[in-house]
Structure 1
């Protein structure tokens, strides 16, 4: 029986299509546009240092660890879908569109890096006591490799790199390399011994997950698969990033692990929200008190 993380966290289900399913540009319903406008307004308030109560995380530390694990993953899943889409477009893009698309993909990678820091911002002790047993109870080999939304990203990145000269996609290459460094740094902090649940269960990374494992991962993180339009997809991501931004602004990210690129110790709110604020009116982003991201 799956022990859904959502049972411990008061958060709605994440609604996403299956990876690779095209999103219609607009379903035509007024509610979608209204949710997007409201989400952007709430995000601006959070970045200005005045987050609405609906975006605030739990007050106690253990509940906040679980909240960050779920909300951070939800936001990452939506970012991965957007990232895969942009990388696929970049892989087929003309020279004239390359720079813009590479910058867009880099911004999505940077947002994912911040989300990884956010979701894994707890201490190793809390990770071992609160999160790891919960995943083990779901499945002894529970693994991030079972995240179906990330599966298309590496191949799409390779295709984009094969299509364009390195100099033209330099921002993307840097962001992807930094993302790998963030991933290794957070994993090394949370599991100092380095053994994942997958490895402890006697399995080796790199084997394609089964459909049952993909479904188990979705169930654990309370992901519901159904069609939705691009406006609703964006509104959902805006809401999630607003929750993360409000939490970071109030509580910081804790100690940034060794090996993490220096640029992720400052301006993390700008890096986190750039993908959804591109093209929006400029705003003054609330600066965290010195030391809150370190």
Structure 2
């Protein structure tokens, strides 16, 4: 599987107005394949886990953008039920992509994935992700409308995301030291445009004018690729005769729906994003 370039609008910029009426990418019902947790076929570890690392992050960028569009419209007043549903679903989709990206065995992650990030920059950090900046506050409960009864499903998704993020971080980097923390003389977590560009470049993301329909179509393509991957290789592939489950039934807890629900939540997020007409925001 080969990672593709992802085309994204600049953070805070509106979508490009379509020259023609938007088509319905991402709105049709799709038949989702079943997948096994433990894959039966041996895989090319370098190729597969590099693809998963890039695709999982790219899908997260698109989901963050959709969330940011909703939050931009609701800094003080609560979103409607449909928008709250979309926020919760996008957060679960992001959690699923944390799980999907982190199926890489720990030794492979340190020898290959983490090493490549360090080559990009010794202090390479997820804090540099441009599209996460507008949505950071919701994960910290900073919007005045959070915490009400209408936000119960959203609160559950946020809690599930926190548990998933911490579980995966503890598995991949058990000493808890990120590249930023390991880098000698790392100057805190200040973020510059240069660092955001480095982050985008690493994840094959190009900033240019993009229409909402085009963005949904890119998400739709990646969801179809993830479906093919999981159906063929399982969530935890066979790497040299061994499986490396990060989350097991025993450790799942609130993460349990994510183990078998990766495709369902991504498909639902894609269709919700397509129907919300986010191209009308920021205009």
Deviations 1:231-268 (A, max 9, x none): 11111111112212221222222224346622222323
1:106/1:90 Cα in 2 relative to 1: closer, same or farther (>3 Å)? farther
Task: Give the structure-2-normalised TM-score.
Answer: 0.80
Instruction: Find the counterpart in structure 1 of residue 212 from structure 2.
Output: 230
Deviates more, 1:182-191 or 1:243-252: 243-252
Instruction: Find the counterpart in structure 2 of residue 267 from structure 1.
Output: 261
Residues 141, 200 of structure 1: 8 Å contact kept: yes
1:206 shift after superposition = 6.5
1:131 shift after superposition = 0.5
Gaps of 5+ in 1: 1-8, 51-57, 281-294
Corresponding residue to 1:44 among 19, 27, 30: 30
Does residue 79 of the first structure (1) align with residue 63 of the second (2)? yes
Which of the two has greater helix per residue? 1
Aligned counterparts of 2:7 and 2:138: Cα–Cα separation in 1 = 23
Aligned counterparts of 2:176 and 2:68: Cα–Cα separation in 1 = 28
1:157/1:190 Cα in 2 relative to 1: closer, same or farther (>3 Å)? closer
Aligned counterparts of 2:141 and 2:175: Cα–Cα separation in 1 = 34
Instruction: Find the counterpart in structure 1 of residue 18 from structure 2.
Output: 27
**What is the number of residues matched between the two proteins?**
256
Residues 118, 244 of structure 1: 8 Å contact kept: no
Instruction: Find the counterpart in structure 1 of residue 4 from structure 2.
Output: 12
Residues 86, 273 of structure 2: 8 Å contact kept: no
Partner of 2:257: helix, strand, or coil? helix
Corresponding residue to 2:169 among 158, 180, 187: 187
Instruction: Find the counterpart in structure 2 of residue 64 from structure 1.
Output: 48
1:146 shift after superposition = 0.9
Higher relative contact order (CA 8 A, sep 6+): 2
1:238-257 map, 5 Å: 238-254=220-236, 255-257=245-247
1:100 shift after superposition = 2.2
1:87-98 map, 5 Å: 87-93=71-77, 98=80
